[in-house]
Structure formats: C-alpha cells, structure tokens
Amino acid sequence: MPLTVWDARADIRNLFITPEIRSRIMRFDAGQVSAGHTHDLGHEMFVVLDGRAEFTIAGQSAVLGPGQACVARAGEWHEIRALDDAPMTLYLSVTPHIEPTHTQWDREGGVRLPYHYGAATRVDRPEPTDPPDELVERHLAASQALSAAAADNAAAQLAAAIDLRAALKSADFARAHGALDEMWNAYRALHDALRSSQLAWNELAAAAGRE
C-alpha cells in the first residue's frame, strides 16, 4: 500500500478510518461550537494545530492553543468552542471507532437520546452494495468466529500458563519466553477475530441504521 501524506492546510476531512481508530482534521470558524456528545467505547484525543479553542470535558474547561493537546475519555461529555477572534484547526483521533460512534444527550434531563448509526463517517463511505441480508449473515458469521476464537484463546492461555509458572519457578527464562509466545499467538488470533467482527458490525450498522 502506498504511503499517504496528508496536509492539515487542505485535508479538512476524515483521514483514516478503521475499527481501531478514526482520525481527522477539523476546521472551526471563529466562535463555532461543536455538538457536545460522549463516546460509549472510544477515547478521543485532540491536538490544536492553529488558532485557539475552549475544550469542555467532563465539566472542566481549558483554552488550548497550537501544539497543545487534551483527551476526552470514553463516557466523558465534551464540547469544543473556537474563540471569537479567529478560526481554529485541530487534529483528532477516536479509538476504538465502533458504531454507534457518538452518543447524544438531553443535557437538561440527563437522558441518552436514540443512537444514530453511521452518522459520523457515512459521508466518507461508499454506498453499500451488498444486500442487507448478506451484511447480517457476515456479521453473524464473524460473531461465531469470535466466540470460537475466544474459547480457543482461553484454553491456550490456561495450558501455556501452567508451563509459564513452572518456567518462572525454575528460573528457566528461555522456557518462559516460549510460553509467552504461545500465549501471545493465541491472543493475537483472538484480536484478529475481534477486528473482523468489528468490521462486519460497522458495515451492518452504518448500512441498516440509515434514516
């Protein structure tokens, strides 16, 4: 895959989207305020590139300028307001990026509003070409594969842990390293299955959740 280089002065859009992360560059007009929200799963990191903005996260506010960064952890309500004197540009990343990516709230009543699937990234996705039934079946198959991978991983961790304990007890660090390799290979297979499940879920949710 060719190396992609983005330019923050021109690429005001989503740059990279996977279940592990969404990254983008945003530009705010002077005084513009973002729609406040939370993320059920994702932590969101912000880096101000140009201008200044007030970030309100979990009830606390701070003004950030170029080169400064902050983070809204999963479940923390956050809002951004560009200061009135000039536009502001920032880089953000959200990880993980699993649908529904944003959770909106009735702040007066503290009530979660209905989920919107695909809203944050649909503009950057091609129109779905697969039939809905196929997306459902793909999601179910990925979920079954994840379940099997989780069972395999649990068994592998248990077996390797026995060897690891014995190796550590006898200070046989080469043997301990081998046991750790076995544990990691099983865990990596589980992670691969999880990623496949997340991809299938994001595709299904974005397509079926259209309003």
- The pTM score is 0.88
Alpha helices by DSSP H, 53-172: 132-169
pLDDT interval class at 1 (50, 70, 90): confident
Calpha distance 125→150 (Å, rounded): 30
Residue type, 116: H
Residue type, 104: Q
pLDDT interval class at 92 (50, 70, 90): very high
Closest CA to 62 of 48, 42, 44, 43: 48
Is residue 31 within 8 Å of 82, Cβ to Cβ?
A: yes
Given this model, what pLDDT does residue 123 score? 55
- More confident site: 121 or 190: 190
Kindly state the average pLDDT of the residues 184-188.
Answer: 97
Is residue 207 within 8 Å of 139, Cβ to Cβ?
A: no
Closest CA to 209 of 111, 94, 98, 100: 100
Q: Would the pLDDT of 185 be above 70?
A: yes
Given this model, what pLDDT does residue 127 score? 63
- 158 Cβ contact partners less than 8 Å away, ≥ 6 residues apart: none
Given this model, what pLDDT does residue 131 score? 87
